[in-house]
Chains A and B, each alone.
Chain A
Amino acid sequence: MSDLEYERRLWPRIKNAFRVLVAFTFSHVGVCGLVVGYMICGAFLFQMIEKQEPNTQLEDVRKIRNETANELLSIVLMFNTLEKEEFFKLANAAIKNYTEEIVNAINLGYEGEPLNNQTHSTSVPTENVSWSFSGAFLYSLTVITTIGYGNVAPRSPWGKIATILYGIIGMPLFLLYLSNIGDILARGFKWTFARCCQCRWNCVKPRRYLDNGQLDEEAVPDEEEQITVPISLCLALMVGYVWGGGLLFANWEKWTILDASYFCFISLSTIGFGDLVPGDAISSTPGREDEIQLSFILCSLYLLLGMALIAMCFQF
């Protein structure tokens, strides 16, 4: 085939490739950006809805505490001379009641009042880290990936309705994102793998033969088709990712490695129990909200990347 003809064929091919590339990038980038934007919108939405919820439980518990104190007072006042035994018995009973009430409240989600809140202000609900921006972002992420931890869950009816609608739209969107990202990553991976394979082991490019027996020189060997990444490599990649995440979270959250890997696995498989969630260990000590927010963001990124990797492995 003459050089001229080859060139003539080459140019439209280049143009075509360029066009394909642009469309490709925009479509894929578009979807990724769309998903991230959707999550950010969701974060704002849920933050707005849920933060307005006054923490009524706090009020209830305070009331109970008042009542218990009054009861104790009445016990003390009852006796002119107070016997220790009597007091202990009665006070024990009162405190037991109090304990049960607290336990009820805990079962309904009460988380305790921070000890440093010395002022008995009843108006301002405590700043809840769970529904900060990053917390809401993580929540949106868990909804559209169907992980669904459950450590933060909407309490208001509007929050629940919003969750339903958000999920209905968000889940297919996320699946679209996964398929796109998986596609990109798979191609990149196969390309790299093919290059490595060729460079290191001098893999022979599979050639195509035309019907008359001649070598088909024109056909561009479509390496993506012929290279199959071994399953073991995919498995190793996934296991490595879970393990790596385990190490990371163990370090950050002060969990054991088993707990951290277990958390990574449960999250990436979208089971998402929620028994272990980043930010748990730190949240008990007040004043470290920034770290908690950072750990939420880190967790979100880890999950996004992890699910993309899993999608990629399923493209193989």
Chain B
Amino acid sequence: MGGGQSHNQQGPQGPSSSHGPNNGSVLATKKQQHENANKCSPAKVKSCLRTFFAHLFSHIGLCILIVGYTIAGALMFEKLEKTYEMKLIGNRTANFKKLRLHYVSELWNITEQFNVLYEMNWTSAVEKELREFESRVVATANTAGYSDVKDDLHWTFSGALLYSVSIITTIGYGNTAPRTAWGKILTMFYAVIGVPLMLLWLSNIGTLMANTFKFAYSHACCISSNPSSSSRSVQTKRTPSSKTEPSSIQVKYSVSAMTCETQVVQAQQNMHQRALNRREQRAKLRSLDPSAKQVLMECAEYNVNMDQDERSRRILHQLHSDSGGNGGEMLNISGMDEESSDEVESVIDMRGVTRGGDQSDLRGLNGGRGGSVMEISVNSNGMEGTPSRIPLLHHKGGGVGGIESGPDLVEVDEYHCGGGGSGSDGSASPSLNKYHLPRTEQRVPVSLVLTFVVLYIMGGAAVFSVWEKWGFLDSAYFCFITLSTIGLGDYVPGVSFGSAGTKEGQAQLIVCCLYLVLGLAIIAMSFNLVQEEVAAKVGISIRQEQEEGKGIVVVGSGHPTLVSIVNPSDYANMTMISLKSPKSKAISLVGYTLN
């Protein structure tokens, strides 16, 4: 890891040795991982830049693509439908004229019939004629294809723009709808391509906005030491007062496909866990996937070999002692139980996912793809005064402890292998570019997000009620119907009476387009933000019900690659999210279960 060390961004590590890849005692995995790390490391800056630009272009590129697609669609549809509509209007005017003539002559005939004018008879006859006339007018209006009868064109450029937007967002107002056969066919194809594109863009921008929001929120609330929304640093959070808070250790296996990027999802423990029996905890330990244990052991060995890491050595020690000892129990906390206070318990909760239950597959994945990371991260209890960057092994619960005494509990802040050293922020590792999702103290509360959305709707309602001269309720109703993509179409801005053809009307249409696109982005962002909260709150209980390791969902993009492992509670959410965008082909759910 010599090369990797040079890029190590942290300060004091272990002995900074320039150990090259070791000899036979290192399993093949490590060597491969090391090589991968080495491969990344000389080009670390370049790869960072590349990813940065890829992100930039993916965001901006998508935006441009969407805008271009919409405009192209607007032009196309306008061309197709305009002539037809003008013809229709011409026909309708002519028809009305004919009708009028017909009925006026009818009236004349009636008048002639009555030599003597009896008002009653005459009036009733006239009324009958008028009613007939009226129904003919209504029928004519309907057959012309539009439910409204206007001499202003629907298919102006801005009308067509609103139409395109309403297709790809699946709102579908319907006040403007294609009448020609080609228009209909083209609409179908336009939708098939446009809807997934829009969903991709929405998910993209939703994530971006969610991160920005979290960033702003964390700064605004002046919480915590390290705002961690930046994508390059991994933080460990100390909760200084959280002696009461149970800690959890979660092992996440992340394998990245293309880039050396992994995503880590953390779930926080909640109070529920505290009530868990120790025996249950131990049972959980026993139920650890042997392959997970194996991987952890290998990781520790690698790190020990690489960095002479104290911590890794300790972990290894424990692993070896355990495997010889209590029949495969990974980390023995038996000695601790009675003394430790309730708050100190830690549940080790490892879920390993391997393809087909085969360890070699994971190795294969490690070696084959660009970067593989196995990362064990722990939210540790607050050990006050401990700087967050120095890895710790705590001895909890009153022992004389400290690092030297071979604790029974392993609590580490961040434990990385595969080149991450033992750094707690892990950014050293060239193969580890991690997102560290902010922890609870940085989670945006659901109420705030909902308030934001509601404010947006209200704001839009206010604007539209002033512009369109609707009532406030009607405008709010319109905003809701639009942003939920229901899109009834009974209220559409810019096409109301007398304003359709004017410049003002066109401007209103365009503003409506912008409003709804922005509103959908905000909704995507709020889904993103709320998802974690809901997963944390609801997910824990779900996790209790399900058996360990059952039904872990892997979300892959493109081909089913293990991108991130989340706890099963996210399954429902992700299903929901992915089906919120049911046409999105960018997300496919593949479920794996532990054997």
Residues of A within 8 A of B (CB): 61, 65-66, 68-70, 72-73, 76-77, 82, 84, 87-88, 91-92, 95-96, 98-99, 102-103, 106-107, 109-113, 115, 142-143, 146-150, 153, 157, 160-161, 163-164, 167, 171-172, 175-176, 178-179, 182-183, 208, 211, 219, 222, 225, 258-259, 262, 265-266, 269-275, 284, 307, 310-311, 314-316
Q: In the complex, which of the residues B122, B145, B356 contacts A73, with contact meaning CB atoms closer than 8 Å? A: B122
Query: Which residues of B from 553 to 595 have beta carbons under 8 Å from A?
Result: 572, 575-576, 578-580, 582-583, 588-589, 591-593, 595
When C-beta atoms are compared, the residue in chain A nearest to B179 turns out to be A275
Q: In the complex, which of the residues B133, B167, B489, B497 contacts A107, with contact meaning CB atoms closer than 8 Å? A: B497
Question: B191 on the interface (CB 8 Å rule)?
Answer: yes
**How far is it, in angstroms, between the C-alpha of A262 and the C-alpha of B575 when the chains are bound?**
28
Asked whether B486 lies within 8 Å of A143 as measured between CB atoms, the reply is yes
Question: B484 on the interface (CB 8 Å rule)?
Answer: yes
Asked whether B131 lies within 8 Å of A113 as measured between CB atoms, the reply is yes
Q: In the complex, which of the residues B108, B132, B173, B480 contacts A167, with contact meaning CB atoms closer than 8 Å? A: B480
**How far is it, in angstroms, between the C-alpha of A77 and the C-alpha of B114 when the chains are bound?**
13
Asked whether A72 lies within 8 Å of B126 as measured between CB atoms, the reply is yes
CB-CB under 8 A from A112, the residues of chain B are: 134-135, 138-139
Contacting chain A: which of B62-70, B99-107, B270-278?
Answer: B99-107
When C-beta atoms are compared, the residue in chain A nearest to B184 turns out to be A262
Asked whether B181 lies within 8 Å of A274 as measured between CB atoms, the reply is no
Question: B227 on the interface (CB 8 Å rule)?
Answer: no
Asked whether B174 lies within 8 Å of A150 as measured between CB atoms, the reply is yes
Asked whether A102 lies within 8 Å of B134 as measured between CB atoms, the reply is yes
Asked whether B100 lies within 8 Å of A149 as measured between CB atoms, the reply is no
Asked whether B100 lies within 8 Å of A99 as measured between CB atoms, the reply is yes
Asked whether A65 lies within 8 Å of B127 as measured between CB atoms, the reply is yes
**How far is it, in angstroms, between the C-alpha of A77 and the C-alpha of B105 when the chains are bound?**
17
CB-CB under 8 A from B111, the residues of chain A are: 76, 82, 87
**How far is it, in angstroms, between the C-alpha of A99 and the C-alpha of B595 when the chains are bound?**
75
Asked whether B148 lies within 8 Å of A148 as measured between CB atoms, the reply is no
Asked whether A275 lies within 8 Å of B174 as measured between CB atoms, the reply is yes
B13 to chain A, nearest CB (A): 35
Asked whether A95 lies within 8 Å of B133 as measured between CB atoms, the reply is yes
CB-CB under 8 A from B173, the residues of chain A are: 150, 273
CB-CB under 8 A from B138, the residues of chain A are: 102, 106, 110-112
Q: In the complex, which of the residues A176, A219, A314 contacts B578, with contact meaning CB atoms closer than 8 Å? A: A314
Asked whether A73 lies within 8 Å of B172 as measured between CB atoms, the reply is no
Asked whether A178 lies within 8 Å of B579 as measured between CB atoms, the reply is yes
**How far is it, in angstroms, between the C-alpha of A161 and the C-alpha of B477 when the chains are bound?**
7
Question: B511 on the interface (CB 8 Å rule)?
Answer: no
Asked whether A167 lies within 8 Å of B578 as measured between CB atoms, the reply is no
CB-CB under 8 A from A96, the residues of chain B are: 100
Q: In the complex, which of the residues A95, A107, A265, A266 contacts B150, with contact meaning CB atoms closer than 8 Å? A: A107
**How far is it, in angstroms, between the C-alpha of A102 and the C-alpha of B133 when the chains are bound?**
10
Residues of B within 8 A of A (CB): 96, 100-101, 103-105, 107-108, 111, 117, 119, 122-123, 126-127, 130-135, 137-139, 141-142, 145, 147-150, 166-167, 170-174, 177, 181, 184-185, 187-188, 191, 195, 356-359, 473-474, 476-477, 480-481, 484-490, 497, 572, 575-576, 578-580, 582-583, 588-589, 591-593, 595
Contacts A107-B150, A150-B488, A163-B477; is A271 near B166 (CB within 8 Å)?
yes
Tell me which of B123, B126, B174 has the highest count of chain A C-beta atoms within 10 A of its own C-beta: B174
When C-beta atoms are compared, the residue in chain B nearest to A152 turns out to be B488
B388 to chain A, nearest CB (A): 39
Tell me which of B100, B134, B185, B195 has the highest count of chain A C-beta atoms within 10 A of its own C-beta: B134
Asked whether A160 lies within 8 Å of B477 as measured between CB atoms, the reply is yes
Main SS of chain A's interface residues? Answer: helix
Asked whether B579 lies within 8 Å of A69 as measured between CB atoms, the reply is no
Asked whether A77 lies within 8 Å of B117 as measured between CB atoms, the reply is yes
Asked whether B108 lies within 8 Å of A84 as measured between CB atoms, the reply is yes
**How far is it, in angstroms, between the C-alpha of A161 and the C-alpha of B472 when the chains are bound?**
12
CB-CB under 8 A from B100, the residues of chain A are: 92, 95-96, 99
CB-CB under 8 A from B588, the residues of chain A are: 314, 316
CB-CB under 8 A from A153, the residues of chain B are: 488-490
CB-CB under 8 A from A69, the residues of chain B are: 123, 126-127, 130
Contacts A148-B488, A167-B480; is A106 near B141 (CB within 8 Å)?
yes
**How far is it, in angstroms, between the C-alpha of A183 and the C-alpha of B166 when the chains are bound?**
30
Tell me which of A61, A95, A163, A271 has the highest count of chain B C-beta atoms within 10 A of its own C-beta: A271
**How far is it, in angstroms, between the C-alpha of A22 and the C-alpha of B103 when the chains are bound?**
71
**How far is it, in angstroms, between the C-alpha of A165 and the C-alpha of B300 when the chains are bound?**
54
A210 to chain B, nearest CB (A): 9
Contacts A72-B126, A88-B104, A91-B107; is A106 near B149 (CB within 8 Å)?
yes
Asked whether B137 lies within 8 Å of A149 as measured between CB atoms, the reply is no
Task: Pick 22 A–B contacts, CB within 8 A, sort by A.
Answer: A76-B122, A87-B104, A92-B100, A98-B133, A103-B149, A110-B138, A115-B132, A142-B486, A153-B488, A160-B473, A163-B481, A167-B480, A175-B576, A225-B591, A266-B172, A271-B170, A271-B191, A272-B172, A272-B486, A274-B489, A307-B582, A310-B582
Contacts A150-B488, A269-B583; is A176 near B122 (CB within 8 Å)?
no
CB-CB under 8 A from B589, the residues of chain A are: 315
Apart from A163-B481, A314-B583, list 5 A-B contacts with CB within 8 A: A73-B123, A88-B104, A265-B191, A272-B487, A314-B588
Contacts A73-B119, A95-B103, A271-B166; is A65 near B134 (CB within 8 Å)?
yes
Q: In the complex, which of the residues A82, A110, A160, A175 contacts B579, with contact meaning CB atoms closer than 8 Å? A: A175
Counting from the closest, the 8 A-B pairs by CB-CB distance are A271-B172, A148-B486, A273-B174, A150-B489, A275-B177, A150-B488, A112-B138, A153-B490
B586 to chain A, nearest CB (A): 11
CB-CB under 8 A from A265, the residues of chain B are: 188, 191
CB-CB under 8 A from B134, the residues of chain A are: 61, 65, 98, 102, 112-113
**How far is it, in angstroms, between the C-alpha of A107 and the C-alpha of B134 when the chains are bound?**
14
A314 to chain B, nearest CB (A): 6
**How far is it, in angstroms, between the C-alpha of A167 and the C-alpha of B166 when the chains are bound?**
19
CB-CB under 8 A from A72, the residues of chain B are: 107, 126
Tell me which of B145, B480, B582 has the highest count of chain A C-beta atoms within 10 A of its own C-beta: B582
Asked whether A179 lies within 8 Å of B576 as measured between CB atoms, the reply is yes
Contacts A91-B104, A208-B357; is A273 near B131 (CB within 8 Å)?
no
Q: In the complex, which of the residues A95, A113, A172, A307 contacts B576, with contact meaning CB atoms closer than 8 Å? A: A172
Asked whether A284 lies within 8 Å of B356 as measured between CB atoms, the reply is no
Tell me which of B474, B484, B588 has the highest count of chain A C-beta atoms within 10 A of its own C-beta: B484
Tell me which of A77, A112, A182 has the highest count of chain B C-beta atoms within 10 A of its own C-beta: A112
**How far is it, in angstroms, between the C-alpha of A85 and the C-alpha of B478 when the chains are bound?**
50
CB-CB under 8 A from B191, the residues of chain A are: 265-266, 269, 271
